[in-house]
Every structure is written in structure tokens, then in C-alpha cells.
């Protein structure tokens, strides 16, 4: 009798633990395939799909293309999913498509970019960080380190969220800030930063907006001009390579917005909403967290695994 009871209890537990929320959820983001940041987001999406049993489709345009992204959102709406996850780097371009989804009765959660416009477009909530505030916090920290003349390197021109990062950084930094636009080719990024440093020896701070695409090339550019230790280098987001530079003292810090959560949580929330009508009552801030030298080493392994 006891054995039968234990067996029945174990079966019940297994049944509860097994994925049961087989819903259809579409994830449309602006991140380009060659950006390692977005591979971590997708890892979060994939893990959420596995944990909930939801049928999840993840799509993005091949380049930073708002027309193509709006078309992907429209196509997703036509499939009438149980939920839609979107990033909003440009509300003017993407707003009409997102509003069509809401008007069609599709629950929408925004993530990564668009915290300032998410609610007015009809999204249930936003998972991410306030980009301006994160930039401001970084600027204040770098000013406290003695910085007074900086460049802010933007590898995705036209992304409003990245503009907000530089604007917040300038406000918090308080000194001279020049925005340096580049492509997302690390070789070009390194060349542009090196040229800026060689043309203006007063630059003492480099603010990157992405770890792999800007942070790591920035460290290399500073080393190339022989000013390692003299120039403070910081970046949004994390990579194992940049974190090692923080550990070695060649970079100041990375700003962690925990993009794994940005992929994971919206899918879980939408699956729970479809199954039970459960959804958080407000935005979920996934960052910012400054990862400095005392914390960097313990985060490196998770970054190399595609989680941080």
C-alpha cells in the first residue's frame, strides 16, 4: 500500500513538473545574427520554450531594418499566436504593427528596448532596463574615476535605445562627450576608436554600447595606441573577453542588463497568461548592474556559456 502510494505521488509530481503550457508564441527582435548579445537572448527564449512546453518561433531581420522588422511583426499577427514578444528600437517605425497586434487581441510583451513607449503601444509590460538611466549611472561612475573627455561609440545607428544610452551617459558624465558612429563590424569599430584616440589625445574615457562589438575592440584600440591604464573603457553588456579585460584591469566595468532574462521571462509570462490568465502587474527591470573587477571573474564562465 505504501509502495503504491509513493508511486502515485511520484507520478503526480512528474506530471506537475512536465511542460504543460503548449501555447504558440512569436518572438520578433531587431538584433542582428552576428551580434553575440542576441544569441544569449535566444538562449533565454529557447530555455523558456523547453520549461513551459510552449511552441515558440524566434525571428529577426538579417540587418538592422525597421521595415523588415515591421513586416515580421505583421506576419506574426496573421498567425494569431497566443502571445507576441517584441523589442522596440524605433517606436515610430514599429508602433503601427504592434498596435495592430494589440487590436487583434494578441497579448504583447516588449523586451530589451522600448520601456518608454511600451505601455502607450498597448503592451502588457516591458522586461529590460531603462537605457537612459543605465547610461547616466555609467557616466557618473566613469566621472568618479576621473574621466572628463569621452567618446560614446554607437555600432547601430538608428536604434533609439542606443541613442538613449549615449544621452544618459553624457548627462551623468558631465564632461565632454562625442558620439562616434560605426557599423557593427568589430574591425571597423577598432579602427574608428583608434583614429579618434590618435586625433584627440585628451580623450580619457571610451563608452561602448555592446561588449563583443565595441567593448573588446575598444580595449584593443587603447592598447594599440599605448594608453592601457590611462583610458577608462566601459561598455554596455558582457562578453567573456571583455570581462577578462575587467579582471586584468584593462577595462573598468560592463553594464549587465541580463539579456537571458529578457528572452526567458516574456515567454514564460505569455505562456502563463494564455493558460491561467496570470501576468505581472508592471514592468520587470532586468538591469542595470555594473560588473566591476571584484565581480567579473565569477561571471566569465556564465558569459562563455551564453547565459550572462
Q: Which residues pair with 291 in a beta bridge?
A: 254
Taking only the tens place, the pLDDT of each residue in 233-276 is 999 999 999 999 999 999 999 999 999 999 999 999 999 999 99
User: Residue 5: what pLDDT?
Assistant: 34
Taking only the tens place, the pLDDT of each residue in 126-150 is 999 999 999 999 999 999 999 999 9
End-to-end CA distance of the chain: 48
Reply yes or no on whether the pLDDT at 1 is more than 60.
no
3-state SS assignment for residue 111: strand
Q: What are the Cα distances from residue 288, in Å, to 76, 135, 190, 238?
A: 30, 9, 25, 12
Cβ pair 308, 56 in contact under 8 A: no
> What is d(CA 213, CA 181) in angstroms, rounded to the nearest whole number?
13
Q: Give burial (CB, 10 Å; 0-12/13-18/19+) of 17.
A: exposed
Which CATH code fits 131-256+294-301?
3.40.50.2300
pLDDT band at 36 (very low <50, low <70, confident <90, very high): confident
> What is d(CA 193, CA 88) in angstroms, rounded to the nearest whole number?
28
Q: Which residues pair with 255 in a beta bridge?
A: 236, 290
The C-alpha cell of 8 is what?
Answer: 502515485
**Strands 289-291 and 149-154, sheet pairing:** unpaired
**Strands 232-236 and 205-208, sheet pairing:** parallel
Rg of the chain in Å (alpha carbons): 21
Cβ pair 84, 101 in contact under 8 A: yes
Query: Which of 250, 238, 249, 240 is CA-nearest to residue 290?
Result: 238
Cβ pair 244, 303 in contact under 8 A: no
User: Residue 112: what pLDDT?
Assistant: 95
> What is d(CA 306, CA 303) in angstroms, rounded to the nearest whole number?
5
User: Residue 138: what pLDDT?
Assistant: 97
**Architecture of the domain delimited by 12-129+258-277:** 3-Layer(aba) Sandwich (3.40)
pLDDT band at 46 (very low <50, low <70, confident <90, very high): very high
Taking only the tens place, the pLDDT of each residue in 176-228 is 999 999 998 999 999 999 999 999 999 999 999 999 999 999 999 999 999 99
Q: How many CB atoms lie within 10 A of CB 239?
A: 23
Query: Which of 25, 72, 32, 62 is CA-nearest to residue 46?
Result: 25
Positive or negative: CA dihedral 87, 40, 132, 286: positive
User: Residue 236: what pLDDT?
Assistant: 97
Half-sphere exposure of 105 (CA within 13 A, CB side): 4
Taking only the tens place, the pLDDT of each residue in 96-120 is 999 999 999 999 999 999 999 999 9
User: Residue 10: what pLDDT?
Assistant: 36
* Domain parsing of the chain, residue ranges: 12-129+258-277, 131-256+294-301
What number is the average pLDDT over the span 78-99? 97
Average predicted confidence (pLDDT) for the chain: 92
What number is the average pLDDT over the span 142-170? 95
User: Residue 2: what pLDDT?
Assistant: 36
pLDDT band at 32 (very low <50, low <70, confident <90, very high): confident
Taking only the tens place, the pLDDT of each residue in 9-31 is 333 333 334 445 568 999 999 99
User: Residue 22: what pLDDT?
Assistant: 61
Burial 114-129 (b: 16+ CB within 10 A, else e): bbbbbeebbbbbbbbb
Angle separating helix axes 240-248 and 216-224, nearest 10 degrees: 50
Half-sphere exposure of 19 (CA within 13 A, CB side): 14
The C-alpha cell of 21 is what?
Answer: 503550457
Cβ pair 161, 113 in contact under 8 A: yes
Whether the domain at 12-129+258-277 and the domain at 131-256+294-301 fall into the same CATH topology: yes
Amino acid at each position: 500500500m505504501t509502495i503504491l502510494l509513493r508511486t502515485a505521488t511520484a507520478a503526480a509530481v512528474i506530471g506537475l513538473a512536465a511542460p504543460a503550457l503548449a501555447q504558440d508564441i512569436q518572438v520578433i527582435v531587431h538584433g542582428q545574427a552576428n551580434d553575440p548579445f542576441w544569441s544569449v537572448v535566444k538562449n533565454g527564449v529557447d530555455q523558456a520554450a523547453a520549461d513551459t512546453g510552449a511552441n515558440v518561433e524566434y525571428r529577426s531581420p538579417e540587418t538592422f531594418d525597421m521595415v523588415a522588422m515591421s513586416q515580421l511583426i505583421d506576419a506574426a499577427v496573421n498567425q494569431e499566436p497566443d502571445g507576441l514578444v517584441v523589442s522596440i528600437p524605433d517606436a515610430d517605425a514599429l508602433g503601427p504593427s504592434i498596435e495592430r497586434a494589440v487590436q487583434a487581441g494578441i497579448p504583447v510583451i516588449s523586451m530589451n528596448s522600448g520601456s518608454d513607449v511600451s505601455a502607450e503601444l498597448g503592451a502588457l509590460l516591458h522586461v529590460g532596463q531603462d537605457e537612459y538611466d543605465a547610461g547616466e549611472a555609467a557616466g557618473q561612475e566613469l566621472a568618479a574615476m576621473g574621466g572628463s573627455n569621452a567618446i560614446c561609440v554607437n555600432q547601430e545607428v538608428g536604434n533609439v535605445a542606443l541613442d538613449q544610452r549615449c544621452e544618459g551617459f553624457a548627462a551623468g558624465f558631465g564632461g565632454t562627450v562625442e558620439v562616434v558612429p560605426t557599423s557593427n563590424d568589430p574591425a571597423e569599430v577598432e579602427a574608428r576608436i583608434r583614429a579618434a584616440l590618435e586625433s584627440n589625445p585628451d580623450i580619457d574615457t571610451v563608452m561602448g554600447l555592446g561588449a563583443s562589438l565595441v567593448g573588446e575592440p575598444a580595449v584593443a584600440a587603447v592598447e594599440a595606441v599605448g594608453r592601457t591604464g590611462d583610458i577608462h573603457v566601459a561598455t554596455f553588456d558582457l562578453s567573456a573577453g571583455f570581462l577578462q579585460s575587467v579582471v586584468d584591469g584593462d577595462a573598468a566595468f560592463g553594464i549587465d542588463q541580463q539579456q537571458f532574462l529578457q528572452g526567458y521571462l516574456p515567454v514564460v509570462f505569455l505562456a502563463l497568461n494564455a493558460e491561467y490568465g496570470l501576468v505581472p502587474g508592471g514592468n520587470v527591470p532586468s538591469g542595470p548592474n555594473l560588473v566591476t573587477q571584484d565581480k567579473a571573474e565569477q561571471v566569465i564562465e556564465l558569459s562563455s556559456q551564453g547565459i550572462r
